[in-house]
Structure 1
């Protein structure tokens, strides 16, 4: 088995079409078909079910795809580590980010890392929550941030910081007559939500909040990024429920953030790591997170001033 076999297999698995996969790989279809056949003979299993109309992965192919991708992820990590050593870094910290984690706290944390540990290279990986959890188990990442504590056995989820939940509205929206908007008023309008697979932790927290309201929301659109979500809000397509820091990071004059009436809920960001003793480098990183995550009255005041129209 050669690496080209794995690379070819991954592309065919993603395209589920040998012709399209061959075009993407810049090879003819016949050598691609031969390579997949060689791989299946080497493994002793059929990876694809092929008909004249379709190509789909077998159960064995689905399992093998996860492992093949992991092989290339490990190779990429090895290349990154060698490059870090060549660049003069003493160590490397691999940080996974899920659920659209945004400034200002992440920016402050990374700036503190550069100041305190300039010889430590910090590499960031934006991945879905499920991929982050697998990567932590497989030692592809040292630590991660996500908006979910439902991470299963072997992973520790510790609250890192919280963010007041806001309603993001287009400028000149009728609900702007409220200084604090009742949730039942928000739910009279369509919402744009983040795709549950792309922002799984964020979706879990928002779903719990909406369940308490006892009303099913009208979902106008599901998107794969918080940036596109706020773009649609600015265009007047729908409202959104997001963290205050995300409204601030948006920097779009056509988006206005308002708090919810009553006891406003918060979105919690968690630090995720394997349930083992952390390295010295990781321990220092974790120690920096706690002070950054502290909410102070002045911090909330600044947010309120910045999101007013």
Structure 2
């Protein structure tokens, strides 16, 4: 089984069109067709279904694609590790970031890691929460940051920090008469929420927050990024929940932030460090200890 056949299969599975796949691979269509035929012959299964409506993956092809991507992820990681070793690094951490958890404190943490542990190379991956959890279980990632602790018994979810939640609105919104926005009054207006796949953990916490008020939110849009959410808010589509630190990072001239008035304390968005319960490497152990406050006796991570 040749790697070029496998790579051609992946491209065709992504394009589901022989002509486009061949163009992307910079080959003629006939060698692509031959490679797929040889691969199917070697496996003894049909990977693609071809009919008048076009080309599609068979159930066997879908399973094969999923597993092949894992194989190529491992090959890519092996190449990165080899290059890191050649450059003088003695360890590597693959850190996934989900739910928009990349914020100033993460940048500060990474800077400290580079200063205090320079022989460990850290790679960041911006992925949805479901992909992070799958990667942690399959060894693709060593750890990750997310806004969810609903991870199952095989993944540790340790609280690392929290940020006050604020609500942002267009510059001339009627709610700006309030210095703090009551949650019940806020829910009378349309909301721009996070996308349920791209912002899963963030959305879990917002839905829990809104459940404190006996009113159904009016959701007019779902944004997969903070930049898109602020664009919709500035255009007057609705209100959106963000953290105070995010407003500092992604300031928008046409939106205004207000604190929330909560029945019980301050509204906060929680951030968690996730990693597999077993197989903690020495570089990861040092990374975890570096996150904990100096002098803390917090043992929830180890």
Please report the TM-score for the alignment, with normalisation by the length of structure 1.
0.88
Q: Which residue of 2 aligns with 1:284?
A: 286
CA contact (8 A) 1:247 1:256 kept: no
How many aligned positions are there? 293
Greater alpha carbon shift after TM alignment, 260-269 vs 118-127: 260-269
CA contact (8 A) 1:161 1:270 kept: yes
Instruction: Classify the secondary structure of the residue corresponding to 1:151.
Output: coil
Q: CA distance change for structure 1 residues 40 and 207 in 2, over 3 Å: closer, same or farther?
A: farther
Greater alpha carbon shift after TM alignment, 131-140 vs 69-78: 131-140
| Structure 1 unpaired stretches of 5+ | 295-309
Instruction: Classify the secondary structure of the residue corresponding to 1:131.
Output: helix
Q: Which residue of 1 aligns with 2:27?
A: 27
Tell me, in whole angstroms, the C-alpha distance in 2 between the residues paired with 1:22 and 1:274: 40
CA RMSD of aligned residues (A): 1.9
Tell me, in whole angstroms, the C-alpha distance in 2 between the residues paired with 1:291 and 1:227: 31
- The one-character-per-residue Cα deviations of 1:81-138 (angstroms, maximum 9, x if unpaired) are 1111122222111111111113221111111112211221111111111111121122
CA contact (8 A) 1:102 1:249 kept: no
Q: Which residue of 1 aligns with 2:213?
A: 213
Tell me, in whole angstroms, the C-alpha distance in 2 between the residues paired with 1:209 and 1:19: 50
Tell me, in whole angstroms, the C-alpha distance in 2 between the residues paired with 1:115 and 1:77: 24
- The one-character-per-residue Cα deviations of 1:196-250 (angstroms, maximum 9, x if unpaired) are 1111111222222233333332222222212221232233332111222211211
Q: CA distance change for structure 1 residues 281 and 259 in 2, over 3 Å: closer, same or farther?
A: same
| Structure 2 unpaired stretches of 5+ | 297-302
Q: Which runs of 4+ in 1 moved over 3 A?
A: none
Q: Which residue of 2 aligns with 1:182?
A: 182
Q: Which residue of 1 aligns with 2:107?
A: 107
Higher share in helix = 1
Q: Cα distance, 1:18 vs. partner?
A: 2.3
Q: Is 2:86 aligned against 1:92?
A: no
Q: Which residue of 2 aligns with 1:300?
A: none
Instruction: Classify the secondary structure of the residue corresponding to 1:276.
Output: coil
- The one-character-per-residue Cα deviations of 1:139-183 (angstroms, maximum 9, x if unpaired) are 221111111112224211111111222111222322111111112
Q: Cα distance, 1:275 vs. partner?
A: 0.7
Tell me, in whole angstroms, the C-alpha distance in 2 between the residues paired with 1:113 and 1:35: 46
Tell me, in whole angstroms, the C-alpha distance in 1 between the residues paired with 2:193 and 2:122: 31
Please report the TM-score for the alignment, with normalisation by the length of structure 2.
0.90
